[in-house]
Amino acid sequence: MAKHGKPKNDGRVGQLRQKYGAVAMDNAARLHPDEDVYEMMEWRDDMDPHYAKLWLDWTYGGLYTRTILSDRVRILVVIGQCIALDELEELPIHIRSALAHHATPREVLEVILQLTVYITRKASSCSTASIRTSPTPGWTGFTPGCIRAEFWITRRGN
C-alpha cells in the first residue's frame, strides 16, 4: 500500500482522476493520507464503473465535503460506524486516518467505549482487537494501575 496518499501507478491515477473527477479523488486521498485510494478505486472501476462513479461522488465528492463536521470528527464517526457494523477490515484504515487528522488514540478508544452503551459487548470487544496491551512511550491516556493500551496502528510507523 502506498504511504501518504501517493499512488503506486501514476499513469492509472491520471486516468482515474480524469474519469471520476479530481475533486472527489483528491478528497479521498486527503482524508486517507496513509492509504492508496487509487488502488481502492481501481477495483470498483474494474467491477462496475457506473457504481464506482456514484459511490465516489456520493461519498468523497458529497457527504465527506460537507463542512458541518471537521474531518477529525467525521472520521471518528466513521470509526463508530465500522464498529457498530462489525466492519473490522475497514476499521484500521479509518483509525490511521483519524490519527492523521489529529485525533488522539484516547479519542478513538473513547468512541469504542461510548458505543458499548447501544451495541453489544461482543462488537466492542472485537473492535478493541485493534488495541494491544503494551505501553507506548509518551502514552498518558490511562492512569497508573489501569490497563495500558496502545493502538497497534501507531506502532507500525505509518
Question: How many C-beta atoms surround the C-beta of residue 89 within 10 A?
Answer: 8
- pLDDT digits 0-9 by tens, 42-55: 888 899 999 999 99
- pLDDT digits 0-9 by tens, 1-41: 344 444 455 677 788 888 888 899 899 888 988 888 888 88
The alpha carbon torsion through 129, 56, 158, 8 (nearest 10 deg) reads 130
Residue 21 burial by CB count (10 A; 0-12/13-18/19+): exposed, middle or buried? middle
CA 102/CA 6 separation, integer angstroms = 20
pTM for the whole structure: 0.68
The angle at the Cα of 65, spanning 152 to 18, to the nearest 5 degrees, equals 95
- pLDDT digits 0-9 by tens, 39-93: 888 888 899 999 999 999 999 999 999 999 999 999 999 999 998 888 888 888 8
CA 41/CA 75 separation, integer angstroms = 19
- pLDDT digits 0-9 by tens, 120-142: 655 555 555 555 433 444 444 43
Residue holding cell 460506524? 81
Residue 137 CA, chain-centre distance (Å), reads 23
* CB neighbour burial string for 124-157, b if at least 16 within 10 angstroms, e if fewer: beebeebbeeeeeeebebeeeeeebbbbebeeee
